[in-house]
Structure 1
Amino acid sequence: MADLDRQASETGSLKLMLYFMPVFGIIPALWSLNSETSTRTERNASRVAVKLALTWFASYMLFDIGAQNIDALHLPLLLTSSLITSGYFVMNLWLVILLWQRKSIDVPLLGKVDRLD
Structure 2
Amino acid sequence: MENFEPKENRELLAGEQRDNNPQSPIPNPPSPIPKTQLLLYLIPIIGFFPSLWTLYRGQGSREQLAISRLSITLALIWLLGYLLLASGAATSDFLTLRLFILNSFLTSGYFLVSVWLILRLIQGKSGRLPGFSTLAERVLGKYLS
Tell me which interval the TM-score lies in, with the shorter structure as reference length.
Answer: 0.7 to 0.9
- Name the counterpart of 2:52: 30
- Name the counterpart of 2:121: 99
Q: Distance in 2 between matches of 1:83 and 1:18?
A: 23
Q: Distance in 1 between matches of 2:61 and 2:33?
A: 15
Q: Distance in 2 between matches of 1:60 and 1:79?
A: 11
CA RMSD of aligned residues (A): 2.1
| Number of aligned residue pairs | 108
Q: Does residue 62 of the first structure (1) align with residue 71 of the second (2)?
A: no
Superposed counterparts of 1:2-41, under 5 Å: 8-9=31-32, 11=34, 13-41=35-63
CA shift at 1:58, angstroms?
0.3
Q: Which runs of 5+ in 2 are unaligned?
A: 1-16, 18-28, 135-145
Q: Does residue 45 of the first structure (1) align with residue 42 of the second (2)?
A: no
Q: Distance in 2 between matches of 1:28 and 1:38?
A: 12
Bigger share in helix: 1
Structure 1 segments of 4+ aligned residues over 4 angstroms from their partners: none
Q: Distance in 1 between matches of 2:89 and 2:59?
A: 43
CA shift at 1:90, angstroms?
0.6
Bigger share in strand: 1
Q: Distance in 2 between matches of 1:10 and 1:45?
A: 12
Residue by residue over 1:59-115, the C-alpha shift from the partner in whole angstroms, topping out at 9 and shown as x without a partner, is 010000000001100000000000100110111000000000010123132117xxx
Q: Normalised by the size of structure 1, how large is the TM-score?
A: 0.84
Q: Distance in 2 between matches of 1:9 and 1:101?
A: 15
Q: Distance in 2 between matches of 1:16 and 1:46?
A: 8
Identity %: 35
